[in-house]
């Protein structure tokens, strides 16, 4: 939640389609929620079943109609691609249906395999396979399709109509502060980064006892913030201003980035302006995670050299 003059400037709640009811939405609207993110994943019944999702296409459409009827200021749909058995035709059908519904924002994510899930078991047994080339092709076609449909890409996985970029996301990628208040809520505030317990009982016990409900606290040093400001900032299409970030987060790690930049520029992964703003090229956006890992290593190596 982002506050302005004590009132929610943006308050997002994530909902699964099967959990959406008129009464629940009325309560959220009365409380001041301004934005709802609906976990659609796919409009294809077979793909939803393969993912183990507990909703149907009919429930997606009913939930969306209820959200619009309640009049929330902004509605996002989450979609997933590169699913097992998903063809390019399947994905285009999902995008077409999403655009037909005309949400304000779309988030598109490539499937990731998490341990202790049914899909992870299938992957380990060789029943499904990773296909990076297919994932890249889906990514590019998504960008092209949504641009024509009027959804500007402003971050690797996020697209929005004018005025509907997620303000919390932008706040995070710009490496500002935020506070997570509920179970699993993450915070970056007052010099620390931490996460609340995911267990509801533990979180409630801390709250009832007046204890800080955060664990795994990490001190926010300039070295850490400098690296993260570039890594997360480059996920945005606008990129980052290096002179501005260097003033904001003085760190010896910047010399490591200076050594890495020519490689990224000559490799066609980055572009730079004479003012010092850098941004990923379309090819670079396909490799954003790998580039982020290289940037982190460059910062850490330079920082270690500086303290010797």
Distance CA(279)–CA(237), nearest Å, equals 7
Q: How many residues does the chain have?
A: 308
Q: What is the pLDDT of residue 268?
A: 96
Q: What is the pLDDT of residue 50?
A: 79
Tokens at 21, concatenated:
């009811």
- CA dihedral of residues 260, 261, 267, 269 (deg, nearest 10): 120
When mean pLDDT is compared across 20-29, 169-178, 194-203, 239-248, the lowest value belongs to 194-203
73-82, 174-183, 196-205, range with greatest mean pLDDT: 73-82
Residue 219 CB-density burial (10 A; 0-12 exposed, 13-18 middle, 19+ buried): exposed
Confidence tier at 118 by pLDDT (50, 70, 90): low
- For residue 119, pLDDT beyond 70: no
Q: Whole-prediction pTM value?
A: 0.89
pLDDT of residue 144: 94
For residue 120, pLDDT beyond 60: no
Query: Residue 308 — pLDDT band, cuts 50, 70, 90?
Result: low
Predicted confidence band at 180 (pLDDT cuts at 50, 70, 90)? confident
pLDDT computed for residue 124 by the predictor:
57
| 252-287 per-residue burial string, b: 16 or more CB within 10 A, e: under 16 | bbbbbbeebbeebeeeebbeeeeeeebbbeeebbbb
Strands 240-241 and 215-219: unpaired
Q: Which of 38, 107, 29 is closest to 73 using CA atoms?
A: 29
Domains along the chain with CATH numbers: 2-165 (3.30.750.200), 174-219 (no CATH), 222-307 (1.10.10.920)
For 92-110, what is each residue's pLDDT tens digit? 999 999 999 999 999 999 8
Q: For 53-68, write each residue's pLDDT tens digit.
A: 889 999 999 999 999 9
The mean pLDDT of 188-199, rounded to a whole number, is: 90
User: Distance between CA 308 and CA 306 in Å, rounded?
Assistant: 6
pLDDT at 130: 64
- pLDDT-derived band at 127 (thresholds 50, 70, 90) equals low
Closest residue by Cα to residue 132 from 286, 288, 291, 280: 286
Helix or strand or coil: residue 254? helix
Quick count: other Cβ atoms within 10 Å of Cβ 9?
Answer: 12
Range 182-186 contact pairs with CB under 8 angstroms and sequence separation of 24 or more = none
Angle at 76 between CA 71 and CA 77, to 5 degrees: 120
* pLDDT surpassing 80 at residue 260: yes
3-state secondary structure of 37: strand
pLDDT of the residue at 1: 57
Mean pLDDT on 222-232: 96
Work out the mean pLDDT of the chain and round it to a whole number: 89
pLDDT band at 230 (very low <50, low <70, confident <90, very high): very high
Section 249-278 average pLDDT: 95
């Amino acid at each position: 939640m982002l506050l302005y003059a004590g009132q929610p400037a943006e308050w997002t709640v994530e909902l699964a389609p099967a959990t959406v009811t008129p009464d629940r939405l009325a309560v959220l609207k009365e409380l001041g929620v301004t934005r709802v993110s609906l976990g659609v994943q796919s409009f294809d019944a077979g793909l939803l079943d393969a993912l183990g999702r507990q909703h149907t296409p009919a429930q997606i459409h009913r939930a969306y109609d209820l959200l619009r009827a309640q009049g929330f200021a902004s509605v996002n749909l989450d979609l997933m691609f590169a699913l097992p058995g998903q063809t390019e035709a399947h994905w285009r059908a999902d995008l077409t249906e999403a655009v037909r519904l005309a949400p304000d924002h779309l988030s598109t994510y490539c499937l990731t395999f998490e341990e202790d899930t049914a899909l992870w078991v299938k992957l380990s047994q060789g029943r499904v396979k990773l296909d990076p080339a297919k994932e890249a092709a889906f990514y590019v076609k998504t960008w092209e399709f949504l641009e024509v449909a009027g959804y500007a890409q402003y971050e690797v996985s996020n697209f929005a109509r004018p005025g509907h970029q997620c303000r919390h996301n932008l706040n995070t990628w710009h490496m500002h502060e935020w506070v997570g208040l509920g179970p699993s809520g993450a915070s970056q505030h007052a010099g620390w980064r931490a996460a609340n317990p995911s267990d509801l009982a533990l979180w409630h016990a801390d709250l009832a006892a007046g204890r800080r409900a955060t664990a795994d606290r990490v001190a926010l040093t300039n070295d850490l913030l400098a690296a993260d400001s570039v890594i997360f900032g480059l996920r945005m299409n606008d990129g980052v201003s290096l002179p501005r970030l260097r003033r904001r987060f003085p760190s010896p790690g910047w010399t490591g980035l200076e050594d890495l930049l020519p490689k990224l520029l000559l490799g066609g992964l980055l572009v730079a302006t004479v003012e010092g703003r850098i941004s990923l090229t379309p090819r670079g956006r396909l490799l954003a995670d790998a580039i982020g890992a290289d940037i982190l290593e460059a910062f850490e190596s330079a920082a270690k050299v500086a303290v010797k």
